[in-house]
Amino acid sequence: MELLRNPRAMREWADARRAAGERIGLVPTMGYLHEGHMSLVRIASEKGCGAVAASIFVNPAQFAAGEDYEKYPRDEARDLAMFRTASVSAVYLPGVPDMYPEGYRTYVEVEGVSKGLCGAFRPGHFRGVATVVAKLFLAAKPHVAVFGEKDYQQLAVLRAMTRDLDFGVEIVGAPIVREEDGLAMSSRNAYLRGDDRIAARCLSRGLFRAGALFSGGEREAEVLVRAARAEIEGEPRARLEYAEGRDPDTLAPLSGRVGAVTILVAARVGPARLIDNVTLGR
Ligand code: PAF
């Protein structure tokens, strides 16, 4: 497994892999890996990528002032050990000055789909995500890139960016991986202790409740969303940011009878900001 620490090293690796006729899969991460990340690596291999590159970069551009950039969990040695057990051929670990050198001034803004939901609560977040992923694509030159569906709005933003900027990269969404009690896996779950960890179940519980109603024949978007919201609002340790029903493809707001709907939720539980979602009718 090769370690590549700057854009030039990443580009040279990608050029060599392409010259050898290999298909490159990219798994962008911010590290502090869990089973969800490892599923992205497996999916990249299953997509026929003989050369899988994973990146580890805690991207300052996607954290607003006062967010958790400084305390975001980091453990490079553990991450590399985990990637070594998987089919990862190269790990890209650029430093902040490699990605954003002095005088850096170019950002990618994806209109429309970046607004609302997390975009309303995290100003500039998706601009930072789109910018760093564009830079990762330019350095790693992937044929395929795999992102988790837990960050559903992020996935929609990155699909739009990839299409609009003609990157020619196949974007693959990977199903959410959950803990046994339903909590969606996330590096930020490391912030949860004791009662907060138990309280955090309210997000997935609400989504499962909406899913059960949908299975029972309920099709009114408001009723489904209300069920999810009620579980979070009923948890004293949780502070709801949003619970919304959106079109699974466009993320346009939905109301009334729906054939398919994605319910997206975000809440603060103790020191952690958590997000989760479920798509019903697909
Ligand atoms: O989902 C993440 O871990 C990050 O937002 C990403 C896509 C690696 C960009 O920094």
Which residues contact residue 274 at a Cβ distance below 8 angstroms, ignoring those fewer than 6 apart? 184, 186, 188, 189, 200, 203, 266, 267, 268
Q: pLDDT by residue for the chain (282 residues), tens digit each?
A: 999 999 999 999 999 999 999 999 999 999 999 999 999 999 999 999 999 999 999 999 999 999 999 999 999 999 999 999 999 999 999 999 999 999 999 999 999 999 999 999 999 999 999 999 999 999 999 999 999 999 999 999 999 999 999 999 999 999 999 999 999 999 999 999 999 999 999 999 999 999 999 999 999 999 999 999 999 999 999 999 999 999 999 999 999 999 999 999 999 999 999 999 999 999
Are 1 and 83 in contact by the 8 Å Cβ rule? The answer is yes
CA of 208 to the centre of ligand 1 (A): 26
CATH 3.40.50.620 domain position(s) in the chain: 2-174
Q: Is 129 in the pocket of ligand 1 (CB under 6 A)?
A: yes
Which atom belonging to ligand 1 lies closest to the Cα atom of 30? 3
Pocket test for ligand 1, best of 131, 137, 147, 157 (most atoms within 8 A of CB): 147
Q: Which fold is adopted by the domain 2-174? A: Rossmann fold (3.40.50)
Please choose from 129, 153, 161, 177 the residue to mutate so as to test ligand 1's pocket, defined by most ligand atoms within 8 A of CB.
129
Atom of ligand 1 nearest to the CA of 62: 10
Q: How far is the CA of 211 from the centre of ligand 1 (A)?
A: 27
The predicted structure's pLDDT at residue 263: 98
Residue among 34, 37, 125, 143 flagged as catalytic = 37
Q: What's the gap in Å between 262 CA and the centre of ligand 1? A: 21
Helix axes 7-19, 125-140, angle to 10 degrees: 50
> Which amino acid makes up residue 41?
V
Active site residue 143: no
Q: For residue 217, what is the DSSP state?
A: T
List where CATH 3.30.1300.10 sits in the chain.
187-280
Residue type, 171: I
Whether the CB of 149 sits within 6 Å of ligand 1: no
| Total number of residues shown for the chain | 282
Strands 90-92, 51-56: pairing is parallel
Residues 6+ apart with CB under 8 A from 156: 113, 250, 251
| Distance (Å, whole) CA 98 – CA 92 | 12
Question: What is the number of the ligand 1 atom nearest to the C-alpha of 59?
Answer: 10
Angle between helices 125-140 and 152-164 (to 10 degrees): 50
Distance 151 CA to ligand 1 centre (A): 9
**Residue identifier of the C-alpha nearest atom 1 of ligand 1:** 29
Instruction: Using the mean position of ligand 1's atoms as its centre, give its distance from the Cα of residue 29 in Å.
Output: 5
| 123 C-alpha to ligand 1 centroid (Å) | 16
Residue to substitute in 29, 108, 149, 186 for testing ligand 1 pocket (most ligand atoms within 8 angstroms of CB): 29
Fold classified for 187-280: Pantoate--beta-alanine Ligase; Chain: A,domain 2 (3.30.1300)
Q: Are strands 238-246 and 170-174 parallel, antiparallel or unpaired?
A: unpaired
At 267, give phi and psi (nearest 5°). Answer: -155, 155
| Nearest of 169, 142, 138, 167 to residue 52 by alpha carbon | 142
29 lines ligand 1 (CB under 6 A): yes
Determine the pLDDT at residue 188.
97
C-beta of residue 207 within 8 angstroms of C-beta of residue 278: yes
